[in-house]
Amino acid sequence: MDSQLSGGFLKHTLFPPSNFIPSSITLSNGINVSHNAIGVVEITPPKADKAIVVSSGIHGDETAPIELVDDLVSSILDEAFRPTTRLLFIIAHPDAIHAHTRFIEENLNRLFAVKNPVRNKECELANELQAQVQTFFAKGCEEPWHFDLHSAIRASKHYMFGVVPASSKATDVRPLVGFLKASHMDAVMLSRTPSSTFSWYSAEKFGAMAATFEMGRVARLYENDMGEFVPLREALVALMCSEALPAPSSEKGFSSYKVTRTITKTDDAFNLAFSDDAANFTYFAEGEELAEENGTVFSAIAGGEAVVFPNSKVAIGQRAALLVQPFEPDLSEPLYVNVEREPGPIAYSANHSRSLS
């Protein structure tokens, strides 16, 4: 193919020309491919009913998502499948990928709340990615989706799971839960507080069906067992082609969790009461100590809590852990995930002008 992408999306992202110029081509099947920026490719079919962002590389050492995105773009360019949805593929942070580190100066996945002052590369990237997503969703009125693909830095009692951000939009996320099941993910976690993650940005600003996907463990580029993610790839292709989603796994169950609390580090004196390498979803019985900071002790509440993403080394003001409890949503009713509300059938929009049930 006569294109900058002929050597592959990932290769171009990691080793771009010094004089990159946005370009586009139309494939023989009528699909338009636009190379909007380094690490950003847009796919446009003649007609579409959804607009889907699939992002990876927000953290540079989380490489399985990067390989998956590269594979999907290559398959579209090779006309192995023909999308019927508009798509925006992102490989976000080539500098961090080269360095095999989460970030260079600042956690990129905490910079999507506002336009950032450009104090480092991550701030510059966050601003550019926000602009790319805003432009992409503004081009049409299709149903917006966003899958932000990550890998966990620690062991997890659920190897693959989705985190659905809380927003002030009244969005019934049952289709998203259905997609997670079709992808053979192990669990879903429904948030309660606003965040500044990439998936939250799309949920809050555009009412997107959005989630952060945790795909296994971090590994070196091309050292992932991509066979582990075949069900996720198959579900993504089905969604992109407006086909029926695959059936949920018949071999493993699916767990649902709601966030009970977020523990925020406010001082360098913050300490977790357990090992920093504790697995995600490690359970603590009621009353067991979880963390301490300047005499303030955090203990598990009634019913016990499991801990997700514990990290005592985060910057002051950032999340040091999420605490969750299992629950069973009634999927015969709408499932809304609104800020500071129990996940369930009642939701509100940002303007508080209506209540949905």
In which band, very low, low, confident or very high, does the pLDDT at 341 lie, cut at 50, 70 and 90? confident
Domain tally, the chain:
2
pLDDT in tens, 115-158: 999 999 999 999 999 999 999 999 988 999 999 999 988 889 99
Is 254 part of a structural domain of the chain? no
pLDDT (0 to 100) of residue 356? 33
Q: What is the mean pLDDT of the chain?
A: 93
Q: Are residues 225 and 98 in the same domain?
A: yes
Q: Are residues 319 and 203 in the same domain?
A: no
pLDDT at 184 over 60: yes
Helix, strand, or coil here: 357? coil
Query: Which residues sit in the known binding site?
Result: 59, 62, 150
Q: Where are the beta strands (DSSP E) in the chain?
A: 23-26, 32-37, 40-44, 50-56, 86-91, 143-152, 160-164, 187-190, 209-217, 255-264, 271-272, 282-284, 289-293, 296-299, 305-308, 319-326, 347-348, 355-356
In which band, very low, low, confident or very high, does the pLDDT at 6 lie, cut at 50, 70 and 90? confident
Is 247 part of a structural domain of the chain? no
CATH at residue 221: 3.40.630.10
Query: Which residues sit in the known binding site for Zn(2+)?
Result: 59, 62, 150
pLDDT at 14 over 60: yes
CATH at residue 271: 2.40.50.630
**What is the reported pTM?**
0.93
Upper half-sphere CA count for residue 117 (Cβ side, 13 Å): 1
pLDDT at 102 over 90: yes
Q: Are residues 223 and 107 in the same domain?
A: yes
pLDDT at 11 over 90: yes
pLDDT in tens, 235-262: 999 999 999 999 999 999 999 999 999 8
pLDDT in tens, 35-52: 999 999 999 999 999 999
Is 253 part of a structural domain of the chain? no
Q: In whole angstroms, what separates CA 276 from the centre of its chain? A: 23
pLDDT in tens, 271-288: 999 988 899 999 999 999
Write out the two tokens for 86: 């508009």
Residue the block writes with tokens 């053979």: 184
Q: Are residues 216 and 267 in the same domain?
A: no
Check: CB of residue 326 under 8 Å from CB of residue 303. Answer: no
pLDDT in tens, 85-97: 999 999 999 999 9
Helix, strand, or coil here: 172? strand
Q: Are residues 284 and 227 in the same domain?
A: no
Q: Are residues 224 and 273 in the same domain?
A: no
In which band, very low, low, confident or very high, does the pLDDT at 354 lie, cut at 50, 70 and 90? very low
pLDDT at 7 over 90: no
Looking at 195, 225, 240, the residue that finishes a domain is 240
Q: Give the gyration radius of the chain's Cα atoms.
A: 20
Q: How far apart are CA 39 and CA 92, in angstroms?
A: 6
Check: CB of residue 317 under 8 Å from CB of residue 195. Answer: no
Q: How far apart are CA 242 and CA 49, in angstroms?
A: 8
Q: Are residues 197 and 105 in the same domain?
A: yes
In which band, very low, low, confident or very high, does the pLDDT at 352 lie, cut at 50, 70 and 90? very low
Q: Give me the active site residues, please.
A: 214
Q: Are residues 87 and 173 in the same domain?
A: yes
Task: Provide the domain limits for residue 192.
Answer: 4-240
Q: Are residues 213 and 268 in the same domain?
A: no
List of residues 6+ apart from 103 with CB closer than 8 A: 59, 60, 93, 96, 122
Return left, alpha or beta for 227; rule: phi > 0 is left, psi -120 to 50 is alpha, else beta: alpha
Q: Are residues 231 and 291 in the same domain?
A: no
Looking at 240, 274, 300, the residue that finishes a domain is 240
Q: What type of residue is 349?
A: S
